[in-house]
Amino acid sequence: MLLIPSRIKIKGILIDLDDTLYPYPLCNEAGIQATVSYLASKLKKPSEQVRQAFLDGRAATKELLKTAAGELAASHHRLLYLQKAIEGMSGRTNPEFTLVAEQVFWEAYLARMVLFPGALEFLERAKAQEKMIAIITDMTAQMQLKKVVQLGIAHLVDFLITSEEAGRDKPDPAALHLALKKTRLSPHEVVMVGEDEAHDIAAAHAAGITAIAIHKNPTDASVPFAKNFQELIKILDV
């Protein structure tokens, strides 16, 4: 497959948020480190134990909220991870520590956020061409809205659709169907951009929408691929 396939003319762009528009792992790690430091001090526990408790809380939350249709938005909720982590270390719910720890996590996370090179230019070019832009993202609406504001792209986004609003995480196509309803566009008039083949690309295909993978080369050679936003600009001719 050619790295840059034939250009695609579309009226709307559906795009993932986490690890597509900005590097998620760096932000998540910043949040974890800040939270571990806070809880280690408050609970008088070694940092290694606190980190493991956080990871165990995450795993337990995801397992608890797993459904036949896939994960729910609440399965990404750091508040639940932290509640379980603190309960595991102290044997009880500590509302104050849980709430403050979540705040510490997100303050550090948001402070670390920065768009991938070329992402802002891509969104600005698309908006200049009067294309509809909808962010399709798993997780809870409140935090995803905060991320969009923190990244400074709120004025470029027409709609943000979360799995909390749609009811199910990707690869279920529910959020994409909702995006089509909100934008009043049909599947052949939009394209989905995302880095996760198993979720973003699969959800697009399930909704009958053309998908373009970015950052990570897909295993499916038929899926158009852009190494970065500069290449995506060329693919979509924006």
183 & 139 share domain? yes
Report the interhelical angle of 95-112 vs 141-150 (nearest 10°). Answer: 40
102 & 151 share domain? no
| Sequence-ordered alpha helix ranges (H) in 65-201 | 78-90, 95-112, 119-128, 141-150, 163-166, 174-183
Q: What is the pLDDT along the chain (238 residues), one digit of tens a residue?
A: 334 444 567 899 999 999 999 999 999 999 999 999 999 999 999 999 999 999 999 999 888 887 655 666 567 789 999 999 999 999 999 999 999 999 999 999 999 999 999 999 999 999 999 999 999 999 899 999 999 999 999 999 999 999 999 988 999 999 999 999 999 999 999 999 999 999 999 999 999 999 999 998 889 989 999 999 999 999 999 9
102 & 205 share domain? no
161 & 59 share domain? no
Cα torsion 57, 60, 62, 65: sign: negative
In degrees, to the nearest 5, what angle opens at C-alpha 130 toward C-alphas 125 and 136? 80
The DSSP string of 167-218 is SS-TTSTHHHHHHHHHHT--GGGEEEEES-IIIIIHHHHHTT-EEEEESS--
The Cα 50–Cα 37 span in angstroms is: 9
C-alpha pair distances (Å), 60 with each of 141, 160, 164:
22, 28, 19
Domain boundary among 57, 86, 112: 112
107 & 150 share domain? no
Nearest-CA neighbor of 197 among 1, 7, 16?
A: 16
138 & 207 share domain? yes
pLDDT of res. 130: 96
> Does a structural domain hold residue 7?
no
Which residue range forms the structural domain that includes residue 81?
26-112
The Cα 62–Cα 145 span in angstroms is: 22
Structure tokens at 142: 């409140």
151 & 98 share domain? no
The Cα 146–Cα 188 span in angstroms is: 30
Tell me which residues are annotated as active site: 16, 18
| Exposed / middle / buried, residue 46 (Cβ in 10 Å: 0-12, 13-18, 19+) | exposed
Domain boundary among 54, 87, 112: 112
The total domain count for the chain is 2
67 & 45 share domain? yes
> Does a structural domain hold residue 5?
no
pLDDT of res. 2: 37
18 & 120 share domain? yes
54 & 101 share domain? yes
Q: What is the CATH number of the domain that holds 17?
A: 3.40.50.1000
119 & 103 share domain? no
> Does a structural domain hold residue 1?
no
Q: How many CB atoms lie within 10 A of CB 59?
A: 12
pLDDT of res. 74: 66
130 & 204 share domain? yes
Three-state SS at 153:
coil
Domain boundary among 92, 112, 132: 112
> Does a structural domain hold residue 62?
yes
> Does a structural domain hold residue 4?
no
pLDDT of res. 73: 59
C-alpha pair distances (Å), 90 with each of 5, 52, 82:
55, 14, 12
The Cα 177–Cα 134 span in angstroms is: 12
pLDDT of res. 39: 97
> Does a structural domain hold residue 152?
yes
In this structure, are residues 214 and 194 in contact, taking their beta carbons and an 8 Å threshold? yes
> Does a structural domain hold residue 104?
yes
> Does a structural domain hold residue 33?
yes
